[in-house]
Amino acid sequence: MKVFDLEANSYTDVMNIIQSYARVDDELEVSVEKILRDVRNRGDQALFDYTRSFDNFELTENNIRVSKEEVNEAYGKVDKGDLKALKTLRDNIEKVETKALRRLKIGFNLKGIRITQEVRPLDSVGCYVPGGKASYPSTLLMTVVPAKVANVKRVVVVSPPNKVTPELLVAADIAQVDEVYRVGGAQAIAALAYGTKSISPVQKIIGPGNQYVTIAKRIVSSDVEIDMLAGPTEILIFADNDADPKEVALDLISQAEHGPDSVCGVVTQSRRLADMVIKEVAKLCKNVERGDIVLRVMGERAFVIVTKNTNEALNFVNNFAPEHLEVLSSEPEKILSKISNAGVIIVNSPSVVTDYYSGVNHVLPTSCNAETRGGLTVLDYVKVIRTVYASKQSMAKAFPTIKKLALLEGLPNHLKAVEYRVEKNVA
């Protein structure tokens, strides 16, 4: 782990180093653009070729879509305890998003004008479930369940073929996914955006992924809606003097095991805690599982920031705008009121709670995108539509204001559209 003491290092220099972990080189972007064009031009055949090349899997028009028979067979290969856990997570996500959706429906009266707000679901979404170094049925639930709560008509899942496990298929079934396809990477994003013979295009693309997927989503966003840029995972832990260094170390390692491009950091004003965390990480890493990944992240993309005071630490948090922010503090309320940029905030508990149980979505913005939005919610699957009912009496009351503003902006025909009705109603 790299240690940066802000008394000895320039704040700007430190921030540039840390933000460089998520930067993408130009060659990668060129490669992704080539894949997108190729899929757009050659359709299924390009999907088959890239899947053979990248995933070492022979994809055909007969096996690209998962069949109902395969889903039924998957149940026999999934442990009952795992199935119960998946159902619990599904139910918790459903409860959170249902409550959120209900809050969106409003109706009130504004000086005689009745205003209502309702939501309408999107027609179709494509949910990308990443593969990489693991399989993620939890991410499938996170992306699909809010769509079903919103009543999206067509919900599609794409995932790298070697990661379409029995657990993933069972998760897809209990979440009521409409279509599952064995295709991943930038080529899957292209298929969802532009369509092929096997995969019809969708209105919006949802879900996290590696750098290839994230770049692909950004590029196709000029043609199709996306949720956010949710790339390689990040965690930042704000830890005060009372934090348990072993808890901090365990939480860093839990996030690091996602993949070699994970970014893991701690910010604290306690040099003592910083030293203890580094010692705990070193001790735990001697026998850590998934060690090839964890050790690489800890060597290349893990850091500890030591600040002069709490305000400097919080300034770093807001500038870094982490995907996951853990607040480990004896007085968390004082800290939370000063945090404005984070994908999700977890207080005095590990971020794993949001991964597997709380029902709060773990699809979150990365690479400073938490400056402008939070995590995935049911709002990403709906359109908010407002309706205005203006009575004759309300138009008469509104007329003086409308007249002033219409003339102020030089739009006399706006004025006449209301003036005619007011005079007609008076007559």
Instruction: Tell me how crowded residue 28 is: count the other CB atoms within 10 A of its CB.
Output: 13
Question: pTM to 2 decimals?
Answer: 0.92
pLDDT for the residue 427: 65
Query: Quick check: 157 and 71 in contact, CB under 8 A?
Result: no
Is 87:174 a contact under the CB 8 Å cutoff?
Answer: yes
Q: Where are the domains of the chain?
A: 2-24+232-374, 43-102+120-228, 391-426
pLDDT at 22: 73
Give the mean pLDDT of the chain: 95
Measured CA to CA, the distance from residue 412 to residue 403 in angstroms comes to 9
Which CATH number is associated with domain 2-24+232-374? 3.40.50.1980
| Class level of CATH domain 43-102+120-228 | alpha beta
Residue pointed to by tokens 């460089």: 20
Extract the tokens encoding 163.
């990661």
The secondary structure of 305-326 as a DSSP string is: EE-SSHHHHHHHHHHH--SEEE
Six-digit token string for 64:
């690209």
Low-confidence residues in the chain, pLDDT < 50: none
Domains 2-24+232-374 and 43-102+120-228 share a fold: yes
The arrangement of strands across the sheet holding 106-110 comes to 106-110, 113-121, 382-390
Residue-level pLDDT at 235 = 97
Active site residues: 323-324
pLDDT of residue 405: 98
Kindly report the CA angle at 217 between 41 and 57, in degrees rounded to 5?
Answer: 60
